[in-house]
Structure 1
Amino acid sequence: MGIMWVMILWVFGAAVGIGRGGDVTYDGRSLMVDGHRQIFFSASIHYPRSTPDMWPSLISKAKEGGVDVIETYVFWNLHEPQPLQYDFSGRNDLVRFIKEIQAQGLYAFLRIGPFIESEWTYGGLPFWLHDVPGVVYRTDNEPFKFYMQNFTTKIVNLMKSEKLYASRGGPIILSQIENEYGNVEPAFHEKGPVYVRWAAKMAVDLQTGVPWVMCKQPDAPDPVINTCNGMRCGETFPGPNSPNKPKIWTENWTSFYQVYGGEPYMRSAEDIAFHVALFIAKNGSFVNYYMYHGGTNFGRSGAAYVITSYYDQAPLDEYGLIRQPKWGHMKELHAAIKLCSTPLLQGVPTNFSLGKLQEAYVFEEPSGACVAFLVNYDPTRTFTTKFRDTWFKLLPRSISILSDCRNLIFNTAKVSTEKKNTRITTPEINFEAEDKWEAYRDLVLNYLNSSLRANKLLEHMNTTKDKSDYLWYTFSFQSNTSCSNAQLHVQSLGHVGHAFVNDNYAGGGHGSHTSKGFTIDNSITLNNRINNISILSVMVGLPDSGSFLERRYAGLTEVRIQCSDETTAYDFENYEWGYEVGLQGEKLGIYEEENLGNVNWSSNITLFNDQSLTWYKTAFDAPMGENPVALNLSSMGKGEAWVNGQSIGRYWVSFHTPKGLPSQTLYHIPRSFLNVSNNLLVLFEESGGDPLQITLNTISVIDSTGHVSLYKS
């Protein structure tokens, strides 16, 4: 049977509609809905990384791509920003998101966590947990377990009240508790396994009526299913810890997250398809693509050093545009596997060698229904083999799927070339007119104006409570008259630092995702009077992984001034310091229209050329049409951008990759953020940048024939 017939059958089947409730159980072959085994393909789409206006289109495109299930994490820090105070509005409207999945006839997979990692700041934990007396995260610790159970129960009860579990007629067929805990479990010694058993029992006792999973958790206790995360689960996953549990791939990474200073990871459609087919051939029955649509880390939601664009190389890119050939190749793979689902789920599996680097996986029913997966692991050679009296050419590093064990219906390495496309950006507006801009330089804090004092260097995160990326450290001192050619030395475990001496910029430094600290060593000029030293410590997201997150340290660890005579040095580690959380412009909310008058803006922005800590504002009209919109910030340095008071994320264009390029220059402005005219754009620039070179662009895709695909909402 040709692939066209496969697609016709698949489209017909998808049109019938699924995901409308049912009794969900499982056996050793698959999840079962109303007693029927099924193979599921799932798409990770995170509701807060897009907008409610985008959700219908994203879900529709996933469905068109042959997906059965939409997966999302639940983001604890968004929903419970303060203890027992909840927010389910706007991008946080989880119920609306799940109901949209249901309306489009798909199932849902709810990964509650509530620790999620996900390259999300603090792994999704609300920072107020840090101040709970005696708390130790993610272990057999009563304070943590109390709040974790409270939030998990809140989400489960919300889903029950809205009848969103399949057991109550809704779309949710699967839930997850905890996340990749096996990575950190040994650090907690005997308390780790105790916590695993507690978390599993706590979740199961909530009686959702659907199964629970724990990913990367080999010791997940019954009835919780242990699952695999990674790029090669067909090769790396030893399988569930009970023969009565199905083989589930919770995260099939379609690319990889990117950090500032890091290159993008480009995973091919062929590689994804190979490993999906191999997983299915080895009795896998549930594959979730992480991510199917990554979206945007709006505001300050990205974890440490993670860029604002998230998994842009997924089958649906950051803007929700179809990325070919990934999307189309997976769609054809899904159709081929669905065509053969009956023998895959009911047939007797066998496996045998075809050659040194080749093997066959065959599923056959007594009725004669049959499917075969012919695998060629050789990365360079085509292998010709005879299978059931027919010769087949197995392409390098590929899997051939044979329906009825005879007809080739899909090969993982054979991509339809006509389905390739290229994303193009079209400049619509430039911001080169100086008279359209105004600027304001934020205040450099001095010791006398600081609101918090301490005789030591305070830890950054515990001081800011994640209310801002920024923490001022400042002190005053009078040097000896003989201290000439002074050298300022700063050592930090924060992400970025900017030093000022008597209000003048004195240099900066930053770390990286792989280097957890940095130093500043710069010559400074001191006067014979009181000198004010101010250092702005900056975080670019909080850590999102590892054990004992509550103990992590950030911020300054050492500050001293060395005079040129090499015998005179001032050590300020245990000194009288002043502190201030956040910037003046942040506190005054000058990125919002109603607060613009809280500072005196200057219309002569040339005075601010190469100035640090500068706010810029201008207005613009929205581009015509429906194509996605992005701001090109390639001329800027580092900071944050707001449109009509909504943050479109951090930017860090000045941090280049090993190839000498910025990790990200285009910043998504969702259409729902925009008015038809007079949109307010505000930028906060830490270290320079030229706003006159910014452009506003629309995004579209062009296929291999030169045809431009318009955005479909």
Structure 2
Amino acid sequence: MYHGGTNFDRTSGGPYITTSYDYDAPLDEFGNLNQPKYGHLKQLHDVLHSMEKTLTHGNISTIDFGNLATATVYKTEEGSSCFFGNVNETSDAIISFQGSSYVVPPWSVSILPDCKTETYNTAKVTTQTSVMVKKPNEAEDEPTTLKWSWRPENMDSFLLKGKGESTMRQLFDQKVVSNDQSDYLWYMTTVDLKEKDPVWGKNMSLRINSTAHVLHAFVNGQHIGNYRAENGKFHYVFEQDAKFNVGANVISLLSITVGLPNYGAFFENVPAGITGPVFIIGRNGDETITKDLSGHKWSYKTGLNGFENQLFSAQSPSTWSGESVPFNRTMTWYKTTFKAPLGNEPVAVDLLGLGKGTAWINGNNIGRYWPAFLSSEDGCAAECNYRGTYYAEKCQTNCGEPTQRWYHVPRSFLNSDGDNTLVLFEEIGGNPSFVNFQTVRVGSVCANVDEKNVLELSCNGKPISAIKFASFGNPGGKCGSFEKGTCEASKDAADILTDECVGKEKCSIDVSEDKFGAPECGGATRRLAVEAIC
């Protein structure tokens, strides 16, 4: 994939797929260049394009040098092009070819367009690394915190009356009833209990066999509990103590999906919702008695009142309260206004502090949010080594963090003049006071480039403001924590780069001893490490 993007509204599929995706693509979700991947891939395309005739018309031969090192040669009457490969995961390959010697790093490929000079190696990155940062909203007259109003989701007709749109004497899959028009489906039934009923007793509970991604259970208007299925484990049994009355009892179950499967064999047959059976459990001493409700008359209602009445729309006539705004309250709507961030940089809204729900900007659904859903704390390593066969868990990051925190707000959704409206529907309880808008930009750029290359630095349309670090020799460390090595060029690299780059949107530097002086590094490859502030 070349360009990342955003799954707005309910388009993310699932289950449990975030709105944000770019999979480390050369262009990220916001359209920014993902450096160094973009630059490294651009160089590869340029090299391959220069070899077009040889690659498309040449005769192919392969040479095996042993120890997992090979050469693939494309030859025409006009000339030849070579690829040197080394799939050894730990050792360099020293390849002798046509009287010359070449060093190919582990798990990499070198490209020689003329079979003489290496112009590209997959492991030798000569392009900058861009460090993206998020800046607070700097709109004029924007308060430091947003002012919120609220209103509850009206559920009385479901919780107290059990009234729906259709009635059937069985439990149906959520997809069958809702036709994927909503993430929400109410299952409601009324049960008459008598004191002489065998299931009646002091200790009673409700047991639900479910495939709902999220389940909320209510008995006689009281919320008795909820459950979130683990990803990949969507068949579960939920049981919770409940207070039943003699006479009529209304059981209301809210089944919530978080995206449905949209690929794979028979994905349409993957169950979702409350598939049953559903039992009332009574316990009298050591005796356990069950009452199966699966064949009762069940009433169904797709969606929620707030969605149906379009509380997220600017034209909604509904009344909102700005007094005593409650936090950490389930099934609650929140609304605020804000100014569009200045400039033209991409905009993101930080929803950390919220639980689970949906967000709208000026009536545009920017997708489901769920920052309360934390990724596993296991699987991340302090150091990442991409050498070797790829697998899905390789080089994972952000373990134990929210699966998503920042949500993309396209500039086209915003009014550049006047107020904008943010509406949230919070399902499980959260604190909207932490919500804030930010812009996404390049904060700094780094590079660590071998000599005899040309380094290009760019702040993506912004001027380079300072050189934080620069050293030509054998510097160590990594972006953000570079340090000088044991050998250093005679000229001050930071001064040279300051003169060449500061105040400019981009600059090119010839990495050579002519430019920086000749450090004595004992024959080791000399490099330029630089970190610039944008």
Fold match by TM threshold 0.5: yes
Pairing 1:562–2:273 present: no
1:419 lines up with 2:159 in the alignment:
no
CA distance in 2, matches of 1:518, 1:679: 42
Kindly provide the CA deviation profile for residues 627-649 of structure 1, in whole angstroms up to 9, marking residues without a partner as x: 11111111111111000111001
Question: What does residue range 211-230 of structure 1 map to in structure 2 within 5 Å?
Answer: none
CA distance in 2, matches of 1:365, 1:464: 63
Name the aligned partner's letter for residue 563 of structure 1.
G
CA distance in structure 2 between the aligned counterparts of 1:480 and 1:397, rounded to whole angstroms: 74
| Pairing partner for 1:495 from 199, 206, 213 | 213
Gaps of at least 5 residues in structure 2 are 378-399, 447-456, 464-534
State the distance in 2 between where 1:627 and 1:409 align. Answer: 35
Using the alignment, how far apart are the partners of 1:679 and 1:405 within structure 2? 59
Conserved in 1, the CA contact under 8 Å of 2:130 and 2:445?
Answer: yes
Bigger mean CA deviation after superposition, 303-312 or 323-332: 303-312
Query: Of 247, 250, 254, which residue of structure 2 is paired with 1:532?
Result: 250
Shift of 1:432: 7.5
How far did residue 293 of structure 1 move? 1.2
C-alpha distance in 2 between matches for 1:312 and 1:423: 16
* Matching of residue 486 in structure 1 with residue 193 in structure 2: no
- Distance, in Å, in 1 between the alignment partners of 2:216 and 2:190 is 17
Of 427, 440, 444, 1:686 maps to: 427
Q: Deviations over 1:51-72 (max 9, x none)?
A: xxxxxxxxxxxxxxxxxxxxxx
Distance in 2 (alpha carbons) for counterparts of 1:664 and 1:554: 24
Higher relative contact order (CA 8 A, sep 6+): 2
Deviates more, 1:471-480 or 1:431-440: 431-440
User: Residues 286-297 of structure 1 correspond to what in structure 2 (within 5 A)?
Assistant: 291-297=1-7
Distance of 1:440 and 1:459 partners within structure 2:
28
* Structure 1 gaps, min length 5: 1-290
1:571 lines up with 2:292 in the alignment: yes
- Residue identity opposite 1:692 in structure 2: S
Cα distance in 1 for residues equivalent to 2:240 and 2:361: 36
Task: Return the index of the structure with the highest Cα Rg.
Answer: 2
**Aligned with residue 314 of structure 2, among 574, 586, 593:** 593
Segment drifting more, 702-711 vs 344-353: 702-711
Matched residue pairs, number?
Answer: 417
1:675 aligns with 2:415: yes
Match 2:405 to one of 665, 671, 678 = 665
- Do 1:440 and 1:600's aligned partners in 2 also have CA atoms closer than 8 Å? no
Find the counterpart in structure 1 of residue 321 from structure 2. Answer: 602
Deviations 1:310-334, CA, capped at 9 Å, x for gaps: 2252111111111111111101111
Q: Which residue number corresponds to residue 621 of structure 1?
A: 339
Distance 2:29 2:181 in 1: 27
- Output one character per residue of 1:128-186: Cα deviation in whole Å (capped at 9) or x when no partner: xxxxxxxxxxxxxxxxxxxxxxxxxxxxxxxxxxxxxxxxxxxxxxxxxxxxxxxxxxx
Residue 505 of structure 1 aligns with an amino acid whose one-letter code is: H
Q: Following the alignment from structure 1 to structure 2, what is the Cα–Cα distance between the partners of residues 604 and 554?
A: 39
Give the match for residue 344 of structure 1. 55
Deviations 1:282-327 (A, max 9, x none): xxxxxxxxx2112000000011121100225211111111111111
Call closer, same or farther: CA 1:639–1:605 in 2, change over 3 Å: farther
Deviation at 1:440, TM superposition (A): 2.9
- Mapped to 2, the partners of 1:330 and 1:407 lie a distance apart of 19
Q: Is the 8 A contact 1:703 1:709 kept in 2?
A: no
Q: Give the whole-Å Cα distance in 1 for the aligned partners of 2:21 and 2:461.
A: 22
Distance (Å, rounded) in 2 between the aligned partners of 1:536 and 1:711: 50
Q: Which of residues 257, 263, 270 in structure 2 aligns to 1:545? A: 263
Alignment RMSD (CA, Å): 2.1
1:330 matched to 2:41 = yes
Cα distance change, pair 546–338 in 1 and its aligned pair in 2 (3 A): same
For the residues of structure 1 that align with 2:282 and 2:458, how far apart are their CA atoms? 66
Larger fraction in helix: 1
SS at match of 1:329: helix
SS at match of 1:442: coil
**SS state at 1:352 partner:** strand
Does the alignment pair 1:439 with 2:151?
yes
1:373 corresponds to: 83
Give the AA of the match of 1:354: F
Kindly tell me: are residues 321 and 431 of structure 1, through their superposed partners in 2, closer, same or farther at Cα, counting changes over 3 Å? Answer: same
Give the match for residue 390 of structure 1.
100
CA deviation string 1:176-219 (max 9, x = no partner): xxxxxxxxxxxxxxxxxxxxxxxxxxxxxxxxxxxxxxxxxxxx
| Deviation (angstroms), 1:433 | 5.3
Equivalent position of 2:13 in the other structure: 303
- Does the C-alpha gap of structure 1 residues 487 and 432 become closer, same or farther in structure 2, counting only changes over 3 Å? farther
Q: TM-score, with normalisation over the residues of structure 1? A: 0.56
How far did residue 389 of structure 1 move?
Answer: 0.7
Sequence identity percentage: 35
Cα distance between partner residues in 1 of 2:69 and 2:115? 16
Q: Who is 1:400 aligned against?
A: 110
Report Cα offsets for 1:499-556 as digits up to 9, x if no partner.
Answer: 1222222211122442232332222222334222111111111211122344343211
